[in-house]
Amino acid sequence: MCTAISYTYKKHYFGRNLDLNYPVVPSFVFVPRNYEIKFKSLNSLKKHKAIYGIGLAKFNYPFMFDCANEDGLCFAGLNFPSNAVFNKVKDDKINLAPYELCLYLLGKYSSIKEVKEALKDISISDIPFNEYLPLSTLHYIMSDKEECIVIEQTKEGLKVYDNQYGVLTNNPPFYYHALNVNNYMNLTPKEPTNTFAKDLKLVNYGKAMGAIGLPGDSSPASRFIKATFLLHNVNKYEEDYKNVNEAFHVLNNVSTLKGESVMDDGSQEYTIYTSVYSASNNELYVRTYDDQELTMFNLAKEDLNSEYINTYDISFTQKVSEIN
């Protein structure tokens, strides 16, 4: 399970929770302009836009969970089991493995408008990196300052949806979530008025009663509704750091705690990390389940023209500031 959000208030913000039921220790990963990005079925990108994000650098290759490029185009892959379909290699298409898609799109393009056009020629293909790494069944959210889209390849083919909500979770497919939002249009962050029966004297005996019925469980459909409600109703600020904080608060409200989601094999799914991109500033903030202190990556401090991937550790041990 995972949740991703995107919104623009003067600047562009993007973020996600990574929820897994197996251990993973990701890093900050920086892919400079002159690192050669190799693909299985097409020529490599020897020069491209700088990319940064959270992922794993293995076999001298950046496997990105979420990322952005120097122009503010953002990308995240979220679990989409049973629905995601991979094609065999097609002669008339640009064939990209799931782990290659973000690097190709962010390496070449600056806007969602360009990405939409490029996706007309792309097929997400059944091309494993090697025999030890199975393909991840994912769907994808991308955004820039102006637009947000969802990319899903199912048995019906590759579909691109405009995403006015700025939210993505997991199953079912995106069209279901978009329809389901309509069931909650009566919710409001304001105090409700009596539309139940005008002849009855009804009172608001508590706060936030206008949002009674807002889902609170961690299922994908419920997280989609709650994240959408919060994202579109939280305060927006002139100060960048306040908007970053609000994005973390939204994601915290749809995070999964240890013990909340237990698999049949006894493993527990939980939010391993939360990331928030101040994409207009090329800054990435991260906190983990076991360390709630924010760590920030600043693209401006990197050599954008380097040829080598750079990684930085993310803390998974809580740090505490003492005052006496």
Catalytic entry in 2, 74, 102, 148: 2
Mean pLDDT within 297-319? 96
Amino acid letter, residue 207: K
At 133 the pLDDT is: 83
Q: pLDDT category, 1, cuts 50, 70, 90? A: confident
Mean pLDDT within 153-177? 97
At 132 the pLDDT is: 82
Q: Is the pLDDT of residue 131 over 90?
A: no
Q: How far is CA 115 from CA 31, 58, 141, 205, in A?
A: 20, 27, 12, 50
Mean pLDDT within 47-76? 97
Q: pLDDT category, 144, cuts 50, 70, 90? A: very high
Q: Is the pLDDT of residue 174 over 90?
A: yes
High-pLDDT (> 70) share of the chain, %: 100
Q: Is the pLDDT of residue 116 over 90?
A: yes
Mean pLDDT (the chain, rounded):
96
At 138 the pLDDT is: 97
Mean pLDDT within 298-322? 96
Q: Where are the domains of the chain?
A: 2-178+238-313
67 catalytically annotated: no
Q: Is the pLDDT of residue 317 over 90?
A: yes
CATH number of 2-178+238-313: 3.60.60.10
Mean pLDDT within 266-270? 96
* 220-233 vs 240-252: helix crossing angle, rounded to 10: 150
More confident residue, 158 or 130: 158
At 134 the pLDDT is: 85
Q: What is the pLDDT of residues 71-93, one digit of tens each?
A: 999 999 999 999 999 999 999 99
Contact 19, 274 (CB under 8 A): no
At 154 the pLDDT is: 96
Q: What is the pLDDT of residues 24-36, one digit of tens each?
A: 999 999 999 999 9
DSSP result, 233-274:
HS---SSHHHHHHHHHHHHHTT---TTTEE-TTS-EEEEEEE
Distance CA 292, CA 273 (A): 9
Identify the bridge partners of residue 162 per DSSP, sorted by sequence position.
149
The residue written with tokens 């998974």 in the block is: 316
